[in-house]
Amino acid sequence: MKKWNVEICDVTLRDGEQTPGVSFSHEEKCSIADILDEIGVDVIEAGFPIVSHNEAGCVRDLSHMGLDARICCLSRALKTDLDCAIGCDVDMVSIFIATSDLHMRIKYKKPREEVLEKALSMVEYAHDHGIQVRFAAEDASRTNIAFLREMYLRGAECGADYVSYADTVGCLTPLEMAGIIDALRIDLPIPLCIHCHDDMGCAVANTITAAERGAYQLHTTVNGIGERAGNASLEEVACALRFKGGVDRYDLSHLLKLSKVVSEASGIPVPKIKSIVGEHAFAHESGIHIAALIEDSSTYEYIHPNLVGGERHYLLGKHTGKKAIAHILQSMGHDLGEEQIIWILDQVKARGEHKCCITHDILLQLIHQAELEVIA
């Protein structure tokens, strides 16, 4: 396996906080940043300092936490924004302009050449102040490729350390992304970043495709939170890097803990069937599956739950089999006979048909009944 050359920039504290209704406290931002650093995330985008005095203070404090991760912040191509960012002592500033004809017409009402020239002067300004510069194209996925190439090449000439491509409205598919990355990387002298939104459910797939095609910095959010349908989720991207890209330097064992912290701080629950961190990500009900899992967990688990800080769970319902029941009863310390096990299994299936959840207490009741009634 050829190892992908990548780094992760997690944008939970900036783009994730732009999720409608989400606002992280200072303490929550610090806690999230700490766990991101434990995982080994390379860059943490801490916020958008010009938004408010409090936002600038949070970004500055994160810059002074002594983390191994580099701290980045967002900035428009305006001197006021950049002075605010520079005052926060960040390692990197992401200077963005909207690049599609649609955005140029609606937001700037100026020719794109004029917008680009002003932005390039701000790239030079930030570079001259000794911080890393990421020159970012908003709505890049609806922008002429030739203009993007001009923007990126001229940005590099003006001192940009990275250039960034944002699928701002999440309109791309992986095949489209592959072709775009191939086109943009021709003769590009600096690393390319990729920032994907999930409007069509392709954010993670597009991010991983971009990585495989040579994009270097991958943008993620914890639990995939973000504007509208969200961003590429950190946990899914990180696991794909481990298993498909040969990137093993991230400590994935903190992913579940981080997911819970962000879910609580954001007020956005994680769906039970969410990959990697959902409550049912490593839960099994099917009797056929559980029978095989008892022998070898790799039969129905591509990712081992311990790797990401999770646990395997066997659930009981109408699909449960006798071997699963016997295994669960034994693990609970109950040594029951064949007839008792079959009786409990029949009860579980009957209740499962009526959408009854077999809780721990219900199972204990069934065990007690089996010990009394079946023996009698």
Q: Which domains does the chain have, with CATH numbers?
A: 7-266 (3.20.20.70), 283-374 (no CATH)
Predicted local confidence at residue 289, as pLDDT: 75
Phi then psi for residue 345, to 5 deg, are -60, -45
- In whole angstroms, give the CA distance from residue 376 to residue 372: 6
The model carries a pTM of 0.90
Residue 32: other Cβ atoms inside 10 A: 23
Other beta carbons within 10 Å of 92? 21
Rounded CA gap, 57 and 125, in Å?
22
What are the two backbone dihedrals, phi and then psi, of residue 73, each rounded to the nearest 5 degrees? Answer: -145, 165
Residue 165 Cα distances to 64, 156, 191, 215, angstroms? 29, 14, 11, 10
Residue 327: exposure state from Cβ atoms within 10 A (0-12, 13-18, ≥19): middle
Distance of alpha carbon 119 from alpha carbon 230, whole angstroms: 27
81: which DSSP letter? H
pLDDT below 70 — which residues of the chain? 287, 356-357, 359-360, 373-376
